[in-house]
């Protein structure tokens, strides 16, 4: 599967009663499709994957697939207990998704071959990109083994250990040259120079969800944005746990689409931080337009 450009992770809108706002989700995705993302990853981390019921997850993926209409690949989040992950995978396939971003399983941990069996079961339903973060910290040899599992097509790195990733990229590409690697750190643009240095070009852009003009300007080489937009955004993101999601959702609201707030245990952005975010978006948009 060939992916290129900015990878779009939409937020999951909620209505005034706290339920899934399907029409707003469709509008959110349709608006961003006009800016040419390379793929859409629905109901994943930015989409509050861990806060959705299985039924909401399935509906969100269906809405995403219908809004995209086959123009680019659609991936759905999946993970947690094996039975839940399989249900999510099957529902995503029925909804029209092309693949899965596999979140780490929770609480229960086993040896490497146990995780390989977990991945293999889910990859039998749809192609899988493994998400390395949290409890999933993989040695290069393990990733080589996983890359040989039918249906496993890539690894998204949410750790930021460049030494480990360099060794992993070298080991895997020696045997599986088409295997995909992604920078999956929050606000990935800030670390892309380092990832590009080890041969990883793909990345997920949280900023694309609320300011695609900024994300595309950076992709086109405007490195002023690193100093004047992305670095301050990362500092703001670090002020409160959960802001990697809350700030994105607040940014979408600031750009004119009412996607509601976040679900607990995440918290909404404070008024003071919302003002800071609004100022940063203004600066970023001015730079992108200049």
Angle at which helix 54-68 crosses helix 82-95, to 10 degrees, equals 30
Q: Give the burial string for 235-245 (b: 16+ CB within 10 Å, else e).
A: ebbeebeebbb
Helix (H) or strand (E) holding 83: helix 82-95
Given its phi and psi angles, is residue 63 left (phi above 0), alpha (psi -120 to 50 degrees) or beta? alpha
pLDDT band at 107; cut points 50, 70, 90? low
Q: What is the mean pLDDT of residues 195-207?
A: 96
Checking if the pLDDT of 4 tops 90, the result is no
pLDDT band at 114; cut points 50, 70, 90? confident
Q: What is the pLDDT of residue 176?
A: 97
Q: What is the pLDDT of residue 128?
A: 98
Q: What is the pLDDT of residue 113?
A: 82
pLDDT > 90: percent of the chain: 93
Domain 7-212 falls under CATH 3.40.50.150 = no
Checking if the pLDDT of 3 tops 90, the result is no
- 3-class DSSP state of 93: helix
Given its phi and psi angles, is residue 206 left (phi above 0), alpha (psi -120 to 50 degrees) or beta? alpha
Helix (H) or strand (E) holding 244: helix 243-254
Question: Annotated catalytic sites, by residue?
Answer: 131, 156
Calpha distance 137→131 (Å, rounded): 9
Q: What is the pLDDT of residue 110?
A: 66
- 3-class DSSP state of 132: strand
Q: Which sequence spans correspond to the domains of the chain?
A: 7-212
Contacts of 11 (CB under 8 A, 6+ apart): 28, 46, 47, 48, 209, 245, 248, 249, 252, 259
pTM (2 d.p.) = 0.95
CB-based burial label for 206 (10 Å; 0-12, 13-18, 19+): buried
Q: Which ranges of 96-198 would DSSP assign to H, the alpha helix? A: 112-123, 140-147, 162-175, 192-197
Checking if the pLDDT of 274 tops 90, the result is yes
User: Which pLDDT tens digit goes with each residue over 46-77?
Assistant: 999 999 999 999 999 999 999 999 999 999 99
What's the mean per-residue pLDDT of the chain? 96
User: Which pLDDT tens digit goes with each residue over 92-105?
Assistant: 999 999 999 999 88
Calpha distance 5→287 (Å, rounded): 20
Nearest partner of 111 among 150, 83, 137, 148, judged by Cα: 137
Calpha distance 81→289 (Å, rounded): 46
Beta carbons of 53 and 61 less than 8 angstroms apart? no
Checking if the pLDDT of 125 tops 90, the result is yes
Q: What is the mean pLDDT of residues 178-193?
A: 95
Which residues does residue 75 pair with via DSSP β-bridges, in sequence order?
41, 99
Checking if the pLDDT of 109 tops 80, the result is no
Q: What is the mean pLDDT of residues 252-268?
A: 98
Annotated binding residue 116: no
């Amino acid at each position: 599967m060939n992916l290129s450009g900015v990878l779009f992770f939409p937020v999951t809108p909620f209505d005034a009663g706290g339920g899934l706002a399907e029409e707003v989700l469709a509008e959110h995705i349709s608006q961003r499709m006009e800016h040419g993302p390379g793929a859409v990853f629905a109901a994943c981390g930015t989409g509050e994957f861990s806060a959705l019921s299985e039924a909401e997850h399935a509906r969100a993926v269906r809405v995403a697939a219908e809004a995209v209409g086959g123009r680019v690949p659609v991936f759905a989040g999946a993970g947690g207990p094996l039975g839940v992950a399989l249900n999510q995978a099957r529902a995503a396939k029925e909804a029209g998704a092309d693949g899965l971003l596999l979140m780490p399983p929770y609480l229960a941990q086993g040896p490497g071959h146990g995780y390989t069996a977990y991945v293999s079961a889910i990859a039998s339903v749809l192609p899988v990109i493994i998400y390395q973060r949290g409890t999933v910290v993989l040695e290069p040899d393990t990733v080589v083994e996983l890359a040989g599992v039918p249906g496993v097509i890539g690894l998204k790195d949410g750790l930021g250990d460049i030494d480990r990733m360099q060794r992993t990229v070298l080991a895997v590409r020696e045997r599986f040259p088409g295997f995909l690697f992604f920078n999956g750190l929050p606000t990935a643009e800030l670390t892309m120079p380092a990832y590009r240095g080890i041969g990883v070009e793909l990345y997920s852009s949280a900023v694309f969800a609320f300011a695609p003009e900024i994300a595309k300007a950076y992709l086109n080489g405007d490195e002023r944005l690193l100093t004047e937009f992305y670095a301050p955004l990362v500092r703001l993101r670090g002020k409160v746990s959960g802001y990697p999601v809350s700030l994105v959702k607040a940014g979408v609201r600031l750009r004119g689409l009412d996607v509601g707030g976040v679900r607990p245990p995440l918290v909404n952005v404070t008024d003071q931080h919302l003002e800071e975010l609004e100022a940063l978006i203004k600066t970023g948009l001015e730079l992108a337009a200049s």
